[in-house]
Structure 1
Amino acid sequence: MTELRGVGIGLGVAQGPVARMAEPLPAPADTPSTLTPAEELARVREAVQVVARELEERGSKAGGLAREVLEAQAMMAEDPTLDAEVESRTSAGKTGEFAVSDAFASFRDTLAKMGGYLGERAADLDDVAQRVIARLRGLPAPGVPDPGHPFVLVAKDLAPADTALLDLDKVLALITTDGGPTSHTAILAREKSIVAIVGAASAKGLADGETVIVDAAKGVVTTDPSEDELAQAQHRADARAAASSAPLTPGALADGTAVPLLANLGKPGGAAEAVELGAEGVGLFRTEFLFLSSTQAPTVDEQTAAYTELLQAFPGKKVVVRALDAGADKPLAFLNDAHEDNPALGLRGLRALRASEDILREQLTALANADKATDADLWVMAPMVATVEETEYFVSIAREYEIKIAGVMVEVPSAALLADRVLAIADFASIGTNDLTQYTMAADRLLGSVASFQDPWHPAVLRLIKATADGGKANGKPVGICGEAAADPLLAVVLVGMGATTLSMAPTALADVRASLLTHTLADAQRIAAAALAADDAASARSAAQAAAENAA
């Protein structure tokens, strides 16, 4: 028996034979074309169009977050800049295959350097290029293997197009050698409730057909397991399945301490599923969907209709709406599309809204209108707040529009360090652990080469979370968590132990987190949190918390 370690997604456990993802198509050779430049360009354009439509079709079938990701990929495939790059290469006598490979690689590198939202999109370009080249060569598109029986899928990473349409009757679990807890693969796996372990570098040595146990709760892949270990794993899987079908209850610790469990949503259409899965409200509603697909800002009426639809789904319940979080990392022509060398540190979030205050005022107008038309408990927060002065600005302007509860996102270390002063002004804070980790560790959350640093378990990040919670306690203000960290069942216990008052996550993570909280008292959670805080690095913090949790159980 050998144990391979990575980052587990959820509490699931599964077992079965390995099936490895096929290696990418080899890069096309730079050989002269036997066709005219016009013929080569026509071949490429036909292939790109077919691939784009296939991606849109997959997105339509998958729905949810996957649809958004795949539609973005389809738009990327038909980007005019890419088309021009391909044309310049075919005009020079290159084959269509080489032109696509070279142009997409160049474009990918450019986007990757920009970081932020565009850096995230860059990671998807390789998959698009592979699909176009496969079409040009008359080969099947790269994708998930089909060995003819259920299997554990092992891959370097998965493209969104593959993750979105995994056959869950065949794919028992997923193991990736790359990526981290905030990668597309991890987020989509969590949304689809796939048992998954990401970033397990040692899984490169797994062979087709060998049986493994994938234990997401422990972040461990067990190779060559014994019959007893297989039986224990199956028992845990059966127990988890039974627990997930139990009646829904409000989030709470074993001693009855209430911990409301809320949903992260990107569109009003996701509200029904969130309620069905036990969400007690919304801890993060991202308003970007109204803006990112537009060439101009949506009208007040359009925004009011969307916010009203959302609030109507949660009568009497808390709904936290984040003001537009855009800027140079999600460029909008009507907000700020100026080039920045380091957009993650640029004019984004509240900074961008202050520079275009009319957009903020229109959004607050629409939110106030929706609030008056419904009976949900509306909370509104500003993104990327870094200073006390910014807090004063946002709370003041929100009050002008009779927003009763105005708060801030804590994603920048300065806000965490000044939490006692920030929360003397703001009505609440919500910690975005993805960005807080990025800025604390100086590691781009979308850059694979520094993925190991992008871990919210790092004690430096945990200390900032605790400082924020302490600031909330000192002022009698609530402090919630709405980053991916809240969806980690063990880390959720640590967060509550440090003083988090609510947890918000992808709706499919609610059941696992609810079950995890019910196994510990508040005193247990505080001891587990102390163990994690005393560690020197992320891996040690996770191990220390696991040991403390087992001792408390």
Structure 2
Amino acid sequence: MEFDGAGIGSGIAIGPVVRMAEPLPAPTDRQSHLPAEHERERASAALSVVAAELQDRGARAGGAAREVLEAQAMFAEDPTIAERIDASTATGKTAERAVYEAFASYREILSGLGGYMAERAADLDDVSQRAIAHLLKLPAPGVPNPGHPFVLVARDLAPADTALLDLGQVLAVVTIEGGPTSHTAILAREKSITAIVGTSGAGVLADGDLVIVDAENSVVVTEPTAAAVAAAEERIAARQARAAAPAGPGRLADGTPVPLLANLGSADGAIAAIGAGAEGVGLFRTEFLFLDAATAPSVTMQQEQYTRLLGAFPGRKVVVRVLDAGADKPLAFLTDAEEENPALGRRGLRALRAKETILREQLTALAAADAASDTDLWVMAPMVSTVEEARYFTALAHELGIRTAGVMVEVPSAALLADRMLSVTDFASIGTNDLTQYTLAADRLLGSVAGFQDPWNPAVLRLVSEVGAAGRSTGKPVGICGEAAADPLLAVVLVGLGATSLSMSPSALADVRESLARFTLDDAKTLAEAALAAESATEAHTAAKSLAADLQRARTAAPATASREA
């Protein structure tokens, strides 16, 4: 039997299932025998303990996990939650019931908002469960420890648990709920955990069931045959060998170079990226400097962080994206809080242009950091939709000392006008996550439409090919910096469509490097043509996969034929 979900990465694992305990039941709704003030204090103390625990876990985990857990700790200290708890305890409810009701009502609000906010509802549940467990003097919810390696199956996994998973014991993670942009998925990618999320059928799995978790094919196989286990073991061994092999530059089988770069959210990940074989940085997200700030950070503060990043990549290419605020990343000092549909509102370059001082200061800080290093700095603007915007950003960046300025292609208009965009800017970088979202009209942060968020869709690939053709005609570089670049086979197709570099999570570099080395540029173009000719994402993937196997068989057979003829 097989269960489908959304695979994270391209890993594969075999092991026995261990189920995570179901959530604590809702506390009984009864009148407290204690004074309301006492119950209020109990609830406040419990939430303070939970906030401190989450902060501590974040500090130990570091990286993106730290940001996630610090944001989760803020839920425990949210004044709105406190007000709801005060109101409940004033009516005589117990602290644990008041906490439960306060978080449940807040969760309902977030779920109703959809998108990114709906995905954060699970984070609220975890804070609530931890506080209630503390009040009832029960163990906090968490990952079981059976004493042997296992496949963790859970309804969903809280950030606090995902961040500190013992990777020596947890072979893979399967969640029944959650989407491809849940915190489980985000942290699984960063930590290179084999994971499949949103696997609705996995609810029937029991402790001890042997399963194969195949993230590359987004499937959980139960009761696998001996042959299936052997095939999976071969794939696991091959992946381990690739990861351990010396990392050379990315290139195709015919020697065509395809630089493999890293996507980073802060300078903290630079050393690990280089260790994984990154040839530079294809997307450096600068939001981490702004998200927790009441005002924009100073030029000096920004310059220090950019200098630190550039210093980690001497002589290499580093592509920095200026602040991409709005939609799921609102900032009080920059974006409009009252927009009804922020994903289609003033975000990215639109928001920066409305408050140009912030953009000027960021470009000034980047130019100063560049002047103090020998790194090849490129800077790009997010959410560019018109040629005029491309011309505006490029001119301003050059004016402020940025040598190489470009634009991100994330909306169909930018792809369709790519030839004109590239005539007024220095390079383009395709953000496949947003390009897929806007092409298919499916919120990439909403699990209910996750099936549409597939960059294999021929409509998305056709837009990528438009940008690739524009790059060839203008002689300008075209990079890929979305999650699509981390798919080993799709990476080859993207090169066939005209991509000149690929940027991804460092954990994906080894698999993509190996995949590229198996095909020539002509092969890549042939695979791209097959995918473009399909009618759906599934058909495109199937066609490319079948053709890739044929090309490999033909290449393997050719030397044997030549040997016999000799």
Q: Aligned partners of 1:466 and 1:183: how far apart in 2?
A: 30
Partner of 1:552: 551
Shift in Å, 1:147: 2.4
Q: What CA distance in whole angstroms lies between the structure 2 residues aligned with 1:537 and 1:99?
A: 49
- Distance of 1:38 and 1:414 partners within structure 2: 58
Question: C-alpha separation between the residues in 2 aligned to 1:92 and 1:440?
Answer: 51
- The corresponding residue for 1:18 is 17
Number of the residue aligned with 1:339: 338
- Per the alignment, residue 151 of structure 1 pairs with 150
Deviations 1:425-454 (A, max 9, x none): 121111112222222222222222222222
Would the aligned equivalents of 1:182 and 1:484 in 2 still touch at CA under 8 Å? no
- Counterpart in 2 of 1:71? 70
* Correspondences of 1:242-281 after superposition (within 5 Å): 242-281=241-280
Give the whole-Å Cα distance in 1 for the aligned partners of 2:404 and 2:95: 56
Shift of 1:112: 4.2
Residue matched to 1:215:
214
Contact 1:179 / 1:451 at 8 angstroms: preserved in 2?
no
Q: Which residue of the partner structure matches residue 476 of structure 1?
A: 475
CA distance in 2 between counterparts of 1:222 and 1:199 reads: 15
Corresponding residue for residue 442 of structure 2:
443
Shift, 1:381, TM fit = 0.5
Aligned CA distance change for structure 1 residues 491 and 36 (closer, same or farther; 3 Å): farther
CA contact (8 A) 2:119 2:181 kept: no
Give yes or no for contact 2:242–2:511 (8 Å, CA) kept in 1. Answer: no
Q: CA deviation at 1:118?
A: 4.5
3-state SS in 2 of match to 1:251: coil
The corresponding residue for 1:129 is 128
CA 539–20 in structure 1, closer or farther in 2 if over 3 Å, else same? farther
**Residues 410-489 of structure 1: matches in 2 within 5 Å?**
410-489=409-488
CA shift in 2, pair 1:449/1:11, >3 Å = closer
The letter for the 2-side match of 1:511 is: A
Tell me the CA shift for residue 373 of structure 1.
0.7
Report the Cα offset of residue 92 of structure 1: 2.5
Instruction: State TM-score, norm by structure 1.
Output: 0.95
- AA aligned to 1:450 is V
Q: How big is each residue's C-alpha offset from its partner over 1:15-40, in whole Å with a ceiling of 9 and x where there is no partner?
A: 11111222222233433333222122
Q: Is the 8 A contact 2:321 2:382 kept in 1?
A: yes
C-alpha separation in 2, matches of 1:401 and 1:119: 40
Q: Does residue 387 in structure 1 map to residue 386 in structure 2?
A: yes
Give how far 1:57 is off. 1.3
Shift of 1:391: 0.9
Aligned equivalents of 1:170, 1:197: Cα separation in 2: 17
Measure the CA separation in 2 of the matches of 1:29 and 1:544: 56
How far apart in 1 are the matches of 2:364 and 2:504? 27
Aligned length: 552
Give the aligned partner of residue 281 of structure 2: 282
Query: Distance between the aligned counterparts of 2:538 and 2:51, measured in 1?
Result: 40
**Distance between the aligned counterparts of 1:116 and 1:193, measured in 2?**
25
3-state secondary structure, aligned to 2:319: strand
Flag the 1:420–1:113 CA change in 2: closer, same or farther, 3 A: farther
Quote how far apart the aligned CAs of 1:362 are.
Answer: 0.6
Residues 455-478 of structure 1, C-alpha deviations (whole Å, 9 max, x = no match): 222222222222222222222211
The normalised TM-score by structure 2 is 0.93
Report SS of the residue matched to 2:7.
Answer: strand
Q: 1:347 and 1:398, CA in 2 relative to 1: closer, same or farther beyond 3 A? A: same
State the shift of 1:205 in Å.
Answer: 2.4
Contact 1:191/1:509 (8 A) holds in 2: no
Structure 2 residues not aligned, in runs of 5+: 553-566
| Counterpart position of 1:170 | 169
- Cα deviation digits, residues 155-190 of structure 1 (max 9, x gap): 233221111111111111122233444332222212
Measure, in 2, the Cα distance between the counterparts of 1:438 and 1:123.
Answer: 23
Paired residues for 1:309-320 under 5 Å: 309-320=308-319
> CA 1:330–1:472 in 2, change beyond 3 Å: closer, same or farther?
same
Stretches of structure 1 lacking an aligned partner (at least 5 in a row): none
Kindly indicate whether the alpha-carbon contact (under 8 Å) linking 2:51 and 2:74 is maintained by their aligned counterparts in 1. Answer: yes
Moved over 4 A (4+): 112-120
Following the alignment from structure 2 to structure 1, what is the Cα–Cα distance between the partners of residues 401 and 114?
Answer: 37
1:183 aligns with 182
Determine the C-alpha separation between the residues in 2 that align with 1:497 and 1:181.
Answer: 26
Kindly state the Cα deviation for residue 397 of structure 1 after the two structures are TM-superposed.
0.9
**Equivalent in the alignment of 1:48:** 47
**Superposition deviation, residue 117 in structure 1:** 5.4
Q: Which amino acid in the other structure matches residue 253 of structure 2?
A: A
Q: Let me know the Cα RMSD of the aligned residues.
A: 1.9
2:18–2:208 CA contact under 8 A, matched in 1? yes
The residue that corresponds to 2:561 in the other structure is: none
Residue 521 to residue 536, structure 1, CA distance change in 2 (3 Å): same
Q: Among the aligned pairs, what percent are the same residue?
A: 67
Contact 2:159 2:183 in 1 (8 A): yes
Decide whether the 8 Å contact of 1:117 with 1:330 is kept in 2: no
